[in-house]
Amino acid sequence: ERLCLQADLPKPRVAIAQTPMPNAFAMGRSQKHATVCATTGIMELLSPSELEGVMAHELSHVINRDVMIMTIASFFASVASMILNFGFLFGGGGWGDDDEEGGGFLPVILVSLMVYVISFFLMQALSRYREFAADRGAAILTSRPSALASALLKISGTMERIPSQDLRTAEGLNAFFIIPAKTKQSIAGFFSTHPPVEQRIARLQRLEQQLQGTIGAAA
């Protein structure tokens, strides 16, 4: 409640997921219809200040309307995917023919494929940017970037020890998790919805130094 008051945000619905996997996420189409969920695993793992940092991160997603933004951003990829599926089902038989049955559909397939690939990579890049923004928002909201950095380190370390089968069952929520449930890192991070934990921690450490410098200058 205190974080919501500080952020001038309507209190979201709070849920607890009964799972040992340490994670948290926020969902909802608007600030007034949002849900913030934490697992029992993360509540047992983190200290109160670290858990506050995680909750502030999720509230920052709500403040920034990230779920709505990512839904809108996925529109072009979804349309391109539907066109591709339609083309494979109904246009594939005539790709090699220069007739009206299928040959004319090949350019549409190629353009749709290009749009889908470009949209996919742009969405992943946007998602990574939104995670950085939520980290920064949480750090400013709590005035303790180091607490969130410590939480990210603990969560990622614990996630690495979770069986691969358990991680795969949770991969559907990867885009929403504070730390994705992955069995291995994506090539160069291009396919990842989240920045590397090391980069996130480094940015939080720099922000901690900036905030301390500001406080020192004010004193």
pLDDT at 139: 96
Q: What are the residue ranges spanned by the domains of the chain?
A: 2-218
Spatial CB neighbours of 81, under 8 Å, sequence gap ≥ 6? 116
127: tokens are: 């998602």
3-state secondary structure of 149: helix
- Res. 88 pLDDT band, cuts 50 70 90: low
pLDDT, one tens digit per residue, over 24-82 is 999 988 899 999 999 999 999 999 999 999 999 999 999 999 999 988 888 877 877 78
Query: What percent of the chain is modeled with pLDDT above 90?
Result: 49
Average model confidence (pLDDT) across the chain: 85
Return the pLDDT at 60: 96
Residues 188-217 have a mean pLDDT of 85
Give which of 200, 147, 167, 175 is closest to 66, Cα–Cα.
175
pTM: 0.84
Instruction: Report the alpha-carbon distance of residue 24 to residue 17 in Å, rounded.
Output: 9
Name the 3-class secondary structure at 39: strand
* Residue 120: strand, helix, or coil: helix
Q: How far apart are CA 115 and CA 111, in angstroms?
A: 6
| Range list of H helices, the chain | 2-7, 40-45, 48-63, 66-73, 75-90, 106-142, 145-159, 164-170, 197-218
Q: Quote the CA–CA distance of 110 and 5 in Å, as a whole number.
A: 50
Q: Is the pLDDT of residue 102 over 60?
A: no
- pLDDT of amino acid 100: 54
Q: Active-site residue among 58, 100, 131, 171?
A: 58
pLDDT for residue 187 is more than 50: no
User: How would residue 219 be classed by pLDDT, with cut points 50, 70 and 90?
Assistant: low
Q: Does the active-site annotation cover 208?
A: no
Mean pLDDT, residues 109-130: 87
pLDDT at 13 over 60: yes
Supply the pLDDT for residue 41.
96
21 three-class SS: coil
CB 54 within 8 A of CB 24: yes
CA distance 66 to 134: 9
The better pLDDT of the pair 117, 205 is held by 205
